[in-house]
A and B are shown apart, each in its own frame.
Chain A
Amino acid sequence: MSATTHSADSGHGHAEASKFHIFVQLAMILAVITGVEIVLIYIPLVKWFIVTSLVILSLVKFMLVIFIFMHLKWDKLFCTILFFIGLVLAGGTVAALMALFAAHDSIPLKAQEIYAERAAAAQ
């Protein structure tokens, strides 16, 4: 395990105090990002751009919380590996499922019916 994680900031009053500030600042940043996200959806931009930005922003929030609130940044690397095994597999699985169900062969019959009805009604 990495020995460098044995950082100087644990156990010393001074460093702890600074962590207090880090935490508070982080909370502010998170609040701001959330605000940006909410504003973003009302801005008339191309869809893919907004979606990408939203995904990136929530990813940033996600990572900030894990690494700072959850202390991963200061902890042994092993904790990070452990958690990311689950996170990466879960992310991969979600992505694979989305790809599978978005495929043409997977369009549900019910949806096809609804689309057909709607097309008929539009005429």
Chain B
Amino acid sequence: MSTHAAAGAIDHHHDHTTTTGIPNKKLFMWAFLASDCMFFGALISTHLIYRLHETPNQPDILGIFSLELTSFSTFILLMSSLLMALAVNTCQKGHVGATRKMLLGTILFGLIFLACQVYEFNHFVHLGLTLNSNMFGSTFYTLTGTHGVHVAIGVLWLVLMYIRTFKPADGSPWILKSFIHLLVFAVVIVAGMKALLGGVHALQTAHGLNGEAISLFFEHDFPAIVVSAVGLVALVMLGRDRKAVEFGEANAVDVESMGLYWHFVDIVWIVIFTVVYLLEYI
């Protein structure tokens, strides 16, 4: 039962202080994901059950869905999974700088996915598919919304992990700074999201990237643009560490557990993409 790893070599996946050699956090995460399978199983069942037979006010789903957008966000989520895997990989090698970049990339892709979802929901609502317009709306928004909440929690977790990589090694006070860091992130994310969606909207109203689009964009979203720009600068400033940090290989298991969660959210989307979106087209 007890596995004693060869002395010397750092063993990322096995923790000698536990009976099985699997780190507690990782085991916890796997058990949680087993539970989450049932969670999404119940949600997906609900959606499918209501697709088995006609329900009142059935919407014209093909006229509402946009396969391009969904494929794009699916692709984005897959790529974020890649970045997440790389973040774990670099962290295990002790490359804090690379880990941070990968984390930021994952955050960014996660946010793009969320933006797509916000856009999609908005778009669908305009086309008349709302949470309570019909059963399809109810099950669709509940299922994809729950998934979106999972992604959002994942993004929050990633941000917290990213901030944590700056915890100074000498134990000097840091909570306040970390909290400010978090707030700045929140501001950038909200403002950035608004600016991004505003940009897309401008592109659409102006039918393409032209002067009109740009002026529309600045006209409507100036505050958001400014706030996110300032915030970004602040983030860059906060993201330069001068002191030695505590974060290192020992934290690989934290990043890895978070990664498990992130990948799981990804595979749930793989199922949703097929079952909720693609199957409608057949």
A interface residue numbers (CB < 8 A to B):
1, 3, 6, 10-13, 16, 19-20, 23-24, 26-27, 30-31, 34, 37-38, 41-42, 47, 50-51, 54-55, 57-58, 61-62, 65-66, 68-71, 74-76, 78-79, 82-87, 89-91, 93-94, 97-98, 101-102, 107-108, 110-111, 114-115
* Cα of A34 to Cα of B79 in the assembled complex, Å: 12
Select which of A10, A34, A65, A110 is within 8 A of B74 by beta carbon: A34
B93 contacts A13, CB within 8 Å? yes
Select which of A65, A75, A90 is within 8 A of B266 by beta carbon: A65
Interface of A, helix, strand, loop or mixed by DSSP: helix
* B33 cross-chain contacts in A, Cβ below 8 A: 83, 86
10 cross-chain pairs, A with B, having the tightest CB-CB distances, nearest first? A86-B34, A90-B41, A111-B53, A27-B82, A90-B37, A86-B37, A58-B274, A41-B281, A11-B9, A111-B54
Residues 1-39 of chain B, each 1 if its beta carbon lies under 8 Å from chain A, else 0:
101010001111110000011100011001101111110
Nearest to A90 among chain B residues (CB) is B41
**What would 12 A/B residue contacts be, using CB atoms closer than 8 Å?**
A11-B11, A27-B78, A37-B273, A61-B267, A75-B13, A76-B13, A76-B22, A83-B33, A84-B34, A87-B34, A89-B38, A94-B48
Interface residues of B in 254-270 (CB under 8 A from A): 256, 259-260, 263-264, 266-267, 270
B interface residue numbers (CB < 8 A to A):
1, 3, 5, 9-14, 20-22, 26-27, 30-31, 33-38, 40-42, 44-45, 48-49, 52-56, 67, 71, 74-75, 78-79, 81-82, 84-86, 88-89, 92-93, 256, 259-260, 263-264, 266-267, 270-271, 273-275, 278-279, 281-282
Nearest to B38 among chain A residues (CB) is A90
A78 contacts B20, CB within 8 Å? yes
* A115 cross-chain contacts in B, Cβ below 8 A: 54
Check A69/B56 contact, CB under 8 A, given A11-B12, A38-B71: no
* B81 cross-chain contacts in A, Cβ below 8 A: 27, 30, 65, 69
A3 contacts B82, CB within 8 Å? no
B27 contacts A79, CB within 8 Å? yes
Select which of A85, A101, A114 is within 8 A of B54 by beta carbon: A114
B71 contacts A34, CB within 8 Å? yes
Select which of B56, B75, B86 is within 8 A of A114 by beta carbon: B56
* A27 cross-chain contacts in B, Cβ below 8 A: 78-79, 81-82
B56 contacts A110, CB within 8 Å? yes
The residue among A69, A83, A84 with the most chain B CB atoms within 10 A of its own CB is A69
* Cα of A64 to Cα of B61 in the assembled complex, Å: 30
* A65 cross-chain contacts in B, Cβ below 8 A: 81, 263, 266-267, 270
* Cα of A68 to Cα of B44 in the assembled complex, Å: 25
